[in-house]
Structure 1
Amino acid sequence: MTLTEVLLDIASISTLMFIAFLIRQRIPFFQKYYIPTSLIAGILGLLLGPQVLGQFSPVSLNFSGSISQWTNFLLAFVFTTSFLGTASTKFGRDVAAATCITGAVFMAQILLGLAVAFVLGMVMSGVPYEMGLLPVSGFYGGHGSAGIMGGVFQTEGWAEASGIALTYATVGMFAAVIGGMWIINWGAKKGYSKRKMSGNYLEKKDMTGIIPKEDRKPMAMTIANSSVLDPMAFQLAIVGTIIAVSHVLREAIIKVLPFWSNIQLYTMCLIIGAIVGIGLSKTKYNQYIDRGSMKAISGAALEYVIASNVATIQLSVLASYLVPILVTSVIVCVVTAFMCIILSKKWYGEDWFEVAMGTYGQCTGSLATGLLLIKVLDPNGDTLAAESVSGSCTLGSFWQQPYNTVGPLLMLTAPAVVTWGTAGFLAAFLIIGAVFLGRTVKKGVAA
């Protein structure tokens, strides 16, 4: 990997996003269903790449091998900024509600995957029971989690596991964004969202993607004196410092606890960023962090994550295990959407639909796609949905990582332990949510 290769990849994705932006201005379908420019750009990159155009043309769009590292790199910025500059007094209960929702969905996805694998294994050959554990690694955790769980299975002798897990992650990403956009429009027509999303309410800025001159607002506030340090550079310095601290702490922990190497850097950034953000929110030092700048940094990184991920999807993986993957994907996505909507409405309270879509995006694609769906519903960050879902992702690591690392080993040696243990965890999340969170919503406590 060279800096020139990185620069050319950035230039290619940027060009695709600019072209996609122009295409979106002219195609009503993309406008009506709020298809984001980053998704359109990614699809363009996929179609113009070696897997599609390259099959019958000597000229195609090629990315360097380093683009596969973009997700971990860019998510470090997205996750670090999640809590910086926020001053929420309702943070605790919001995160608790979102955590119970995603926790219940996580366990349900495992049980659904195992059930489908068990049934298909009786009527089809080559569908092992342990395959039922792979959907959650792709849907809930995205490509990073899928790579971890698939890699563990692979080291234990199941060579196809990594490819299957990554395929689930790929399908999940499409289900998260495209399915999420459909649900958003359905919910908007029902009046569930604060922002009217129906095609009947499209404003000119939604159609063209350009905000009229008279409606434009400052993107961020200037805190640092530009004669001393550029204001955005000052905010980036804060973000970079937290990333550096996260890296040092992660490396130190790995020396003591080697299994911590399975914890990605962006997860550490989310943890440290949350500690710093929450800690500073109640002090005078919070004035040095500009929330607008943090949103700008996070938003830009998120756009490039989505575009690059879609543009580099491996289509060949979809050919293998197609039937069980499709059956499991449909069932898991439908049940996930149902649970996110119902549980959010019962347990979260105000802004429940924004949280429902955020948790759906997180639990079918990744936290990045969850934040993307929230961004569509809440582009100005007027709700605590993004913070709630991000916080639930942090807490979710405490059960997600053991399933990713130890889960495959238990599935191969003691599958009953995984099955019944997961059922117990699901029951616990449902009981906690119903007893503690459901009551507060009924009493009218703001969420």
Structure 2
Amino acid sequence: MSPEAIGFALLLVGVVLLVAKLIRVRWKLAQRLFLPSSIIGGGLALLLGPDVFGRIASALGTDRFVEAGLWGGGVLEVWSALPGLLISLVFAGLFLGRPIPNLREVGRLAGPQIMLGFVFGSGQYVVGLLLALLVLGPVFGLPPLTGALIEIGFEGGHGTAAGLSGTFAQAGFPQGEDLALGMATVGLLTGIIAGIILINWGVRSGRTAELSASAQPSVTERMGVVERENRTAAATLTVHPSSIEPLALHFGLLAIAVIIGQLLLWGLQALEAAFWSDTIELFEFVPLFPLAMIGGIMMQLVIDRVDRLQVVDRQMVERIQGFSLDALIISALGTLSLEVLAANLVPFLLLALVGIVYCIAVFLFLAPRMLPDYWFERGIGDLGQSLGVTATGLILMRIADPELRTPAYPAFGYKQLVFEPFFGGGLVTAAAIPLILQFGPVPMLVAMAVLLAVSLLAGLLYFGRRGDPARAADAQG
């Protein structure tokens, strides 16, 4: 493939994203649902691809668009490779530019939030693996790996699902990527829709501490535009552009973190090949992005010691992450195979339904009893993340606590420092498929069930009892 073709495919990502933003500004339903432009753009890319536009064109008498839709085969080939590359950048920056807090501070504020997060994450594996063992395998002939799709799609999202494409292929289950991407789309939409419905219910029933029935997002907020009087800098200029472009500096730091992750992965694979690959292979199936996250943590530990001038700007890192994630979602959804979803529609719907019911039940019945205060504002963020990744949780928390007066945001942020390395695309998510492949689904099910039980006991019997009993009773009733 020529460099011009690769460059054109990358430029098309930007065009699709811009068109999607214009659609978001004009489309009232998208505004009410707070749909990200990247999801709209990914849907547009999918509609113009071979499974929709190509089939329509074929039915009208031309086979020109059957292979690649309106985009062309070269564009789809580039797009199919982008998610696995970009997800490493996203995860490399999770901890870059923010000080690593001490464990005591994290535990004090985020302890109950961490336990609730583990209930969401481990429980998704428990219900998913049980469904795979009892129904999906015996009835539909699907492999036990399908039991991991709920957590990969819901907690991990489009980036994680696409980033695991190589792992699915090596495991002999290539259709798992498309099923996980479909799960991520369903989870994201459900997270936003169900979250907004629950927030309205919480306001009417008096369960929200800060939001009143009269508080409504402004027109510009629904359009996704920041009002002029509220606009702030998207990042801070920490180095002079005459020496190096600040964006280039931060991209270089992320690149080093990814390279560290790649070296770690190669080292672990070499150790495995030298000592135990004859009996078990795990790291051969582990993708790069969780190791890139560890590379980012190692970079930040060094930065904490040597960056006396504080040239690393967290906002700049987030801008690079945000762009990478937008491009990732568009390219991943644009190359999604609808044929795979259609061929496995009933199992797919069963997985999605079980996952959705579980997450909403945890929020309604366990969050009030596990979170010592402001359970609704704190729990709605975890519900959003458990269905539709971190961004959905942040959106719902912003709606439920627009003035940021509750401890929901700092508790959620600290929780991420402990939760993200394992679930939602972390080490557990990345290792789930290799572990199931090597040891079978039952050991994974037992391990997740134990973690679920421990998290429940700690949340209900320790953290949940630290709050005001009268307030907790009011919140539950």
| TM-score using structure 2 length | 0.76
| 1:143 has 2:158 as partner | no
Residue in 2 that maps onto 1:371: 391
2:412 is aligned with 1:389: no
Please name the residue that 2:10 is paired with: 10
The letter of the residue matching 1:331 is V
- Confirm or deny that 1:327 pairs with 2:337: no
Distance change >3 Å, CA 51–CA 304, structure 1 → 2: same
1:202 partnered with 2:217: yes
Deviations 1:123-171 (A, max 9, x none): x8444683663434643554257646744653xxxxxx442x3343123
Matches within 5 A, 1:207-286: 207-258=222-273, 259-277=282-300, 280=303, 285=308
Alpha-carbon deviation of 1:38? 1.0
Match of 2:71 in 1: 61
The answer to whether the aligner puts 1:184 opposite 2:195 as a matched pair is yes
1:34 aligns with 2:34: yes
1:261 offset after TM fit, Å?
Answer: 3.7
Change over 3 Å in CA distance of 1:361–1:187 after alignment to 2? closer
Per the TM alignment, residue 342 of structure 1 is displaced from its structure 2 partner at its CA by: 5.1
Which whole-Å CA distance do the structure 1 matches of 2:286 and 2:361 have between them?
30
On the 8 A contact 1:83/1:278 being kept in 2, the answer is no
Kept in 2, the 8 Å contact 1:111–1:419? The answer is yes
Q: Determine what percentage of the aligned residue pairs are the same residue.
A: 19
1:216 deviates by: 2.1
CA separation of 1:195 and 1:389: change in aligned 2, threshold 3 A: farther
Pairing of 1:95-134 with structure 2 (within 5 A): 97-117=112-132, 120=135, 125-127=139-141, 130=144, 133-134=147-148
> Which SS does the other structure have where 2:233 is aligned?
coil
Which moved further from structure 2: 418-427 or 332-341? 418-427
Matched-pair contact (CA < 8 Å) for 1:360–1:370: no
| Matching residue's letter, 1:135 | L
Contact between 1:355 and 1:389, CA under 8 Å: does it hold in 2? Answer: no
Q: Is the 8 A contact 2:94 2:296 kept in 1?
A: yes
User: Counterpart of 1:260 in structure 2: which amino acid?
Assistant: F
The residue type paired with residue 74 of structure 1 is L
Match for 1:181: what amino acid?
I
**By how many angstroms is 1:279 displaced?**
6.3
Rate the CA distance shift 1:323–1:442 in 2: closer, same or farther, 3 A. Answer: same
Change (3 A) 1:112 1:181: same
SS at match of 2:283: helix
> What residue in structure 1 maps to residue 278 of structure 2?
none
**Given the alignment, which residue of 332, 357, 361 partners 1:338?**
361
Change (3 A) 1:171 1:144: closer
Structure 2's unaligned 5+ residue stretches are 58-63, 274-281, 470-477
Matched letter for residue 22 of structure 2: L
Partner in structure 2 of residue 296 of structure 1? 319
The separation in 2 between residues aligned to 1:353 and 1:276, in whole angstroms, is: 36
The equivalent position to 1:405 in structure 2, one of 434, 457, 463, is 434
Question: Match for 1:314 among 337, 340, 361?
Answer: 337
- Work out whether 1:76 is the aligned partner of 2:88: yes
- Count of aligned pairs: 430
> In the alignment, does 2:451 pair up with 1:425?
yes
Alignment deviations for residues 412-431 of structure 1 (CA, whole Å, 9 cap, x no partner): xxx65555454333222322
1:186-242 deviations in Å (ceiling 9; x for gaps): 244225789979997232422443334343211111111222222222222222222
- Aligned residues of 2:290 and 2:427 also touching (Cα < 8 A): no
The question of whether the paired residues in 1 share the 8 Å contact of 2:124 and 2:151 is answered with: no
Tell me the CA shift for residue 23 of structure 1.
Answer: 1.5
**1-structure distance, mates of 2:363, 2:3:** 42
Q: CA deviation at 1:72?
A: 2.5
List per-residue Cα deviations over 1:27-49 (Å, max 9, x = no partner).
21111111111111111111111
Contact 2:163 2:287 in 1 (8 A): no
SS at match of 1:217: coil
Per the alignment, in what secondary structure is the counterpart of residue 395 of structure 1? coil
**Conservation of the 8 A alpha-carbon contact between 2:145 and 2:437:** no
Residue 48 of structure 2: aligned partner: 48
CA distance in 2: counterparts of 1:343 and 1:233, whole angstroms: 45
8 Å contact kept, 1:33–1:182:
yes
Check conservation: 1:83, 1:387, Cα contact below 8 A.
no
Which residue type is aligned with residue 218 of structure 1?
A
Whether the 8 Å CA contact 2:166–2:287 is kept in 1: the answer is no
Q: 2:239 is paired with a residue of what secondary structure? A: coil
- State the Cα deviation string for residues 378-407 of structure 1 (Å, max 9, x = none): 599973435633641213445445532132
Is 1:137–1:149's contact at 8 Å kept on the other side of the alignment?
Answer: no
Please report how far the alpha carbon of residue 299 of structure 1 lies from its aligned counterpart in structure 2 after TM superposition: 1.6
1:260 aligned counterpart, secondary structure:
coil
Per-residue Cα deviation, 1:256-276 (whole angstroms, up to 9, x for no partner): 235334332221121232344
Measured in 1, the distance between the counterparts of 2:142 and 2:37 equals 39
Cα distance, 1:346 vs structure 2: 4.4
TM-score for the superposition, normalised by structure 1: 0.81
Change (3 A) 1:16 1:209: same
Counterpart contact for 1:134–1:150, Cα < 8 Å: no
Pair 146,211 (structure 1): closer, same or farther in 2 beyond 3 Å: closer
Q: Is the Cα–Cα contact under 8 Å of residues 146 and 162 in structure 1 kept in the other structure?
A: no
CA contact (8 A) 1:254 1:260 kept: yes
Out of 355-364 and 180-189, give the one that drifted further.
355-364
